Amino acid sequence: MRKSTIERATAETKVTLSLVVGGEGRAMANTGVGFLDHMLTLLAGHGRFDLSVTCVGDTQVDAHHSVEDIAICLGRAFQEALGEKRGICRYGSVLLPMDEALILCAVDISGRGLLCYDLNIPAQRVGDFDTELTQEFMQAFAREARVTLHLKQLSGGNSHHIIEGAFKALGRALRQAASLDAALGEAIPSTKGTL
C-alpha cells in the first residue's frame, strides 16, 4: 500500500497528516481553516486519496502559515508514498468545468518541483479565506511533492468556483499520474531510469 504519515511542528503550526494514494477518497480535515478543509476534502475525493490532516496553527494572525505548512506536509507525504515511482503513469491532465469556471491542470511526477500558475481569482477573500493562499498552497505542494504542476484558468468569474475547480482538477490529475500502468510493471517511467 502506498501511504505516508508526516508530522511537522514549528513555532507557528503543528501538523499531522496521513495519506494513502489509491484509496477510497475519504478525508478527515481539521485544519482550523474551514475553506481549506472543504478544498482538501474535494482533493481527496477526486484523487481517490485517503487523507487525514489536523493542524493547530496561529490562525489568530492569519491562515498563511497553516495553509503553507499543510501543503508542505501533503507534498512530502505524496512524494514519500510513491517511493521510487515504479510502474506509475507519471503524467496526468484534466480539463475540469466547475459551473462557469474551466480549469486546466497538468501534472508530471518528474522529481522536479515546479508550479506554473495562471488563475485569475477576482475576490480577495472567499469567506474568511485569503484567495492568494491558493497559489501559496499549490507552490508548496508542487515543491515538496517534486512534481511539475500547471494550473490554468480558461474561464470563470466566481472565486469559489475557480479555486474549487483547481483543487478538484489537481486531485484528478494526480490520480491519473499516480495510477499504476500494468504495461510498465516495476519499471520507472523515465528513459533516464530514475525520477
Instruction: Say how many domains are in the chain.
Output: 1
Q: Has residue 194 been placed in a domain? A: no
3-state secondary structure of 161: helix
Q: Is residue 189 part of a domain?
A: no
- pTM equals 0.96
Looking at the domain assignment, is residue 26 inside a domain?
Answer: yes
Report the CATH number that the domain containing residue 62 is assigned in CATH: 3.30.230.40
- Residue by residue, DSSP assigns 94-112 as EEEEETTEEEEEEEE--SS
Query: Tell me, what's the pLDDT at 195?
Result: 82
H/E segment holding residue 51:
strand 49-57
What range does the domain containing 172 cover? 2-178
Residue at 88 is within a domain: yes
Identify the segments of the chain with pLDDT beneath 70. none
Q: Could you tell me if residue 188 is inside a domain?
A: no
192 domain residue, yes or no = no
Q: pLDDT tens digit string along 97-112?
A: 999 999 999 999 999 9
